[in-house]
Amino acid sequence: MKISFTTLGCKLNFAESSALGKALLERGHERAARGEQADICVINTCSVTDAADHKDRQMIHRIRRQNPDAILIVTGCYAQLKPAEIAQIDGVDYVLGQNEKFNLPDFIGNLEQHVAQIHTSAIREIDDFHSAYSKDDRTRCFLKVQDGCNYFCTYCTIPLARGKSRNPSVATIIKQAEEAIAGGAKEMVLTGVNIGDFGRSTGENFIDLLHALDNIGNYDFRVRISSCEPNLLSDEIIDFVAQSKHFAPHFHIPLQSGSNEVLRIMKRRYTRELFAGRVAHIKQVMPNAFIGVDCMVGVRGETEECWRDYVTFIESLPVSQLHVFTYSERANTRMLELDLPIVPQKERERRSKELHAVSERKTAQFYREHEGETATVLWEAKRIKNADGTDTMEGFTENYIKISCPYDKTKINTFERVRIAF
């Protein structure tokens, strides 16, 4: 059978879709080529916000229109949280929860089109960890090292969609990393829901994993750490990255709010003072480090005073980019039980635009600070056709500065020392 995958949301979803695709190929199925009609269409969804749910529904309708005769399977976070809602969408044949999606190779072969079937489990009872890694154009590998979360922040549905925190052993991850490197991957991005919580299932810890990855063979590769909670991003981890052989000076740290009052409402496990201390330590030992920050705007209780306090705090930090989320009410979250002022939707949107503008200024400043320096770029495969008729390609330095050059096929998936210029 010819199968197509459509993946929305986070790097973790992309890693899992890739693993499922590999399992199906090993059973003799084929991937449908771009534009080709598929026999089975799998949509791996996100549900981090209402906007994500809306995009999921749009994609389900689009895939059905493009593949009217295919069996349509929807899985992922949206499928785990709202399976009945998805089953009501015209054309959906199967809804598979987070754990059930890993049984997809066994489902296929016994599928038929009929009224949508729902297969989900009580996700908080799941102990299984399903390993996965994905590669895009052989250059970058998203390596799944952890799944689930035990934090239950008041605004968040991820523990309900992904289950409790769990992970494989360090040895299992190292084996997968070695496979990816042998397959040509030059950069690995460690992914999960709460990767700093690594080791809960195995009695190990995150720094054990980092040391083991840094000691892999005599290969030319680098590793990036994806989002890590500030209370778990210890000085020990930061200092290790600073002196490691393979880890990039690149951090992504969720802040969510720069107001301690709002952090308390969110049930986050740190203060803004702790966060500022983490950023300061990174910059002390790695002055060239890129620091991305997750920011949420418009949660209940975010008064104008809290908001101005938040913006002032963000402005004061030497961070490089903001990833801004607009709060949306999510069913079954504790935030809905709190008797707090509600930020109007238009004001949420205004605050989002304000932080996006702050982000643009900070990224531009970071680029200016490093112009003229020498760095190592990993060139990617995408060929970019420009309006003037020229073709270019792009790559990223170790500290995540995007560089472009005239397209040269021989450079794909290679490292090159370059002088940063814009």
Domain limits of the chain?
Answer: 2-121, 133-368, 374-419
Residue among 233, 276, 267, 274 nearest 252 (CA):
233
**pTM for this predicted structure:** 0.93
Asked if pLDDT for residue 225 goes beyond 80, the answer is yes
- The mean pLDDT of 198-214, rounded to a whole number, is 96
Summarised one tens digit per residue, pLDDT across range 263-287 is 999 999 999 999 999 999 999 999 9
Burial degree of 213 (CB within 10 A; 0-12, 13-18, 19+): buried
Q: How confident is the model at residue 1 (pLDDT cuts 50, 70, 90)?
A: confident
In the predicted structure, residue 147 carries a pLDDT above the cut 90:
yes
* pLDDT beyond 60 at 137: no
Q: Backbone dihedral region of 91: left (phi > 0), alpha (psi from -120 to 50 degrees) or beta?
A: left
Burial tier of 385 (Cβ tally within 10 Å: 0-12, 13-18, 19+): exposed
The residues facing 385 across adjacent strands are 391
Fold of 133-368: pyruvate-formate lyase- activating enzyme (3.80.30)
Confirm or reject CATH 3.10.20.90 for domain 2-121, answering yes or no.
no
Q: Is the dihedral of CA 142, 143, 147, 151 positive or negative?
A: negative
Average pLDDT over residues 376-389: 95
Cα of 108 vs its chain's centroid, Å: 28
Q: Which of 110-114, 199-203, 238-242 has the lowest mean pLDDT?
A: 110-114
Percentage with pLDDT > 70 across the chain: 97
Strand, coil or helix: what is 9?
Answer: coil
Q: Report how far residue 4's alpha carbon sits from residue 47's, in angstroms, rounded to the nearest whole number.
A: 21
Given this model, what pLDDT does residue 115 score? 60
The pLDDT of residue 316: 98
Please provide the average confidence, as pLDDT, over all residues in the chain: 94
Q: How far is CA 152 from the centre of its chain?
A: 18
Strand partners, 294: 254, 323
Q: What pLDDT score does 114 carry?
A: 58
Per residue in 31-74, pLDDT (tens digit) is 998 889 999 999 999 999 889 999 999 999 999 999 999 999 99
pLDDT at residue 218, rounded to an integer: 85
Could you give the CA distance from residue 238 to residue 255 in angstroms, rounded to a whole number? 17
* pLDDT value at residue 276: 98
**CB-count burial class (<10 Å; 0-12, 13-18, 19+) for 202:** middle
